[in-house]
Amino acid sequence: MISRAQRTPLSEWWWTVDRLLVGAILTLMLIGIVLLLAASPPVAIRLGIDPFHFVHKQALFLVPATVVMLGTSMLSPRAIRRLAMIVFFISLALVMATLVAGPEIKGAKRWLVLLGVNIQPSEFMKPAFVVLTAWAFSESGRRPEMPATMFAFAMLFTCIPLLILQPDFGQTVLLSVTWGALFFLAGLRWIWTLGFTGAAVAGIFGAYKFIPHVTSRLQRFLDPASGDTFQIDTSLESFMRGGWFGRGPGEGTVKRILPDSHTDFIYAVAAEEFGLILCLIILALFSFLVLRSLKHAMREQDAFARLAVSGLALLFGLQSAIAMAVSLYLMPSKGMTLPFVSYGGSSLISLALGMGMLIALTRKRPQARVDAEHAMPAFYAESAAR
């Protein structure tokens, strides 16, 4: 079928790509559609639109998403960097535009209507931001004359205020933590790592103290009796009701009262209708994707690819872990969609882009091997010196 004998771009891709990663992502997308069939009609009915509106839209978005993911995964690391640069600056401009021209939905300005399509530019910013940060940190080692570290700081301090202004607390945390982790991976001294962690803890404490919305979320987590924990209670209840095997497709009732059953709490809907076993399978898929990507990163010789793969895996892993943990009441309520499973066009394309980059960077590359050979003497020298 796809012969090793003939070198076409497709065959080259097929034989170098990590097919298991691609398979896991496609499986998640499939699960997402199935779960949306269960979770989204009640929401659509509440909004007074066609019950399968969200399913149709998500299915529609899966086509460009798959194209974007596979297309991106064929790119070379150099092309990935360029793509990230372009996407980053375009989305940065759009994020700024949302603050000026975006409609306010549920108290936040995150959306922009472009050519009749609702898009959330900050979603696209995430993978590009991670790739560029990884590039900056790796570059700081390769070309010490460039102010690469300063560039990384500049990016952080441009993006975070924009996200806070929206406001989007979830994305802010996601980006800051990923950025910090990349800095740490790049070899930040432990004392600084601890210092930044401390600053982050202080930041969260500050948010708790001074942002009323954050205060109430945290208080309700620490002391459920102090306020309305309706979403979390109902979410937990659906896990209890589902049991190991679930109540069966369409038999869920909790989804009718969960406001965000098709996005933030889709994991709970999965539990009620399809059971904890499916939840464990979903968890295993995420775990597989994250750990396998990190394993690739560990083996990777190229510094940029290693950092970028780690960063993208981290972004993906954090988001999925938070989404699952919140619906299981292991974390304070924080709206976070489950990657590839929850409804959301922008998020889907952005994830496809991010995972496409990850797949591209984890492909077996002859040049990586060449790089490694070049690097080899230095590596041996270092281990010899030890």
Partner 1 sequence: MKRLLASLRSFRFTEGGVSRQRIALLVLAFAAVHLVIAGRLVLIGMKSDPQVARRVTNPDMLTSTRPDILDREGKQLATDIQSAMLYAEPKKGVGYVDDAVDQLRTVFPDLDERELREKLSSKKGFVRLRREITAEQQHEVRKLGIPHVGFLQESKRVYPAANEASHVLGGVNVDSAGIAGIEKWIDSGGLADLHLAGFATGRSLSPVQLALDLDVQHAMRDELLKAQGEYQAKSMSGMVLDVRTGEILSMVSLPDYDPNKPGNPADLSRLNRLTTGVYEMGSTFKALTVAMALDSGKATLASRFDATAPLHYGRFTITDFHAQRRVLTVPEVFTYSSNIGAAKIALAVGVDGHKAFLKKMGQLDRLRTELPESAMPLVPKSWGEINTATISFGHGLAVAPLQAVMATAALVNGGLLIPPTFLKRSQAEAEKIAKRVIKPETSDKMRYLLRLNVEKGTAKRAEVEGYYVGGKTGTSEKVVHGRYSHEKLLTVFTGVFPCDAPQYLVLVMIDEPKNRGHSTAGLNAAPTTGQIIARIGPLLGVEPRHDLPPADQLLTVSQRVAN
* Cβ at position 384, least distance to partner 1 in Å: 12
State in angstroms the smallest separation of the CB of 58 from partner 1.
22
Does residue 286 come out as left (phi exceeding 0), alpha (psi in the -120 to 50 range) or beta? alpha
- Give the count of beta carbons closer than 10 Å to the beta carbon of residue 145: 5
Smaller CB distance to partner 1: residue 123 or 300? 300
| DSSP per-residue string spanning 212-239 | HHHHHHHHHHH-GGGS--HHHHHHHHHH
CB of 324 to partner 1, least distance (A): 5
C-beta of 179: minimal distance to partner 1 in Å? Answer: 14
Burial 58-85 (b: 16+ CB within 10 A, else e): beebbeebbebbbebbbbebeebbebbe
Hey, what amino acid is at 18?
D
Closest distance to partner 1 from the beta carbon of 331 (Å): 10
Query: From residue 195, how far is each of 176, 204, 210 by CA, in Å?
Result: 14, 14, 22
Residue 45 or 114 having the CB closest to partner 1: 45
- DSSP letter assigned to residue 104: P
- Cβ proximity to partner 1, 167 vs 292, nearer residue: 292
* Nearer to partner 1 among residue 192 and residue 205 (C-beta): 192
Amino acid occupying residue 277: I
Q: Which of 98, 246, 237 is nearest to 168 (CA)?
A: 98
Residue whose structure tokens are 């998020």: 347
Closer to partner 1 at the Cβ: 71 or 180? 180
The minimum distance between CB 163 and partner 1, in angstroms, equals: 23
Our CB check for partner 1 shows the closer of 66 and 149 to be: 149
Cα distances (angstroms) measured from residue 70 to each of 23, 30, 179, 360: 12, 16, 26, 9
CB closer to partner 1, 96 vs 294:
294
For the bound state, the minimum distance from the C-beta of residue 281 to partner 1, rounded and expressed in Å, comes to 11
CB of 299 to partner 1, least distance (A): 9
Q: How far is the CB of 150 from partner 1 (least distance, A)?
A: 8
Write out the E strands in the chain: 112-114, 117-119
* Nearer Cβ to partner 1 (104/251): 251
Nearest alpha-carbon partner for 324 in 313, 338, 343: 338
Cis peptide before 167 (omega within 30 of 0): yes
Q: Please state the closest distance from residue 209 (CB atom) to partner 1, in A.
A: 27
Contact 125, 95 (CB under 8 A): yes
Q: Which residue lies nearer to partner 1 by CB, 86 or 154? A: 154
Of 93 and 146, which has the nearer Cβ to partner 1?
A: 146
Torsion from C-alpha of 62, 124, 39, 215, nearest 10 degrees: 170
Q: Which residues contact 283 (CB under 8 A, 6 or more apart)?
A: 324
Binding site for partner 1 (CB under 8 A): 45, 137-142, 144, 149, 181, 184-189, 191-192, 234, 236-237, 239-244, 247, 253-254, 256-257, 276, 279-280, 283, 286-287, 290-291, 294-295, 297-298, 303, 306-307, 310, 314, 317, 321, 324-325, 328, 330, 375, 378-379, 382
